[in-house]
Amino acid sequence: AQSVTQLGSHVSVSEGALVLLRCNYSSSVPPYLFWYVQYPNQGLQLLLKYTSAATLVKGINGFEAEFKKSETSFHLTKPSAHMSDAAEYFCAVSDFKGSYIPTFGRGTSLIVHP
């Protein structure tokens, strides 16, 4: 069965600092991996997705994530945090079998200090 673990329920950074949000997954087959962002009182918005092409995936708003099969990780990074990046971030995994039904992690709240 597929599962996702997001390390750290809260991550706090200063504006301009590196953002690193961690995600580890388990899957019996090569997975599809996603990062979504959720702003208060809104639904989820896709940041980026990995679908077995390039291991370094670039997304919107300057975010990127690297798929590391040996570490079963898909960490999200951004070189320089902006105040507008403050939100909840969710990692999701979907096995490539049958329907596309992702399993979400519990989320990491990113706090950006001025």
Where does this chain bind another protein (CB under 8 A)? 4, 32, 34, 36, 41-46, 49, 51, 90, 92, 94, 96-107
Q: Report the DSSP beta bridge partners of residue 5.
A: 24
Nearest distance from C-beta of residue 15 to another protein, angstroms: 25
Cβ proximity to another protein, 56 vs 114, nearer residue: 56
Nearest distance from C-beta of residue 42 to another protein, angstroms: 5
Collapsing DSSP to helix, strand or coil, 71 comes out as: helix
Cβ proximity to another protein, 29 vs 114, nearer residue: 29
Q: How far apart are the first and last CA of the chain?
A: 41
Cβ proximity to another protein, 19 vs 31, nearer residue: 31
Task: Write out the DSSP string of 45-62.
Answer: EEEEEE-SS-SEEE-GGG
Nearest to 51 by CA among 89, 90, 93, 22: 93
Nearest distance from C-beta of residue 97 to another protein, angstroms: 7
Rounded CA-CA distance 74/89 in Å is 13
Cβ proximity to another protein, 72 vs 109, nearer residue: 109
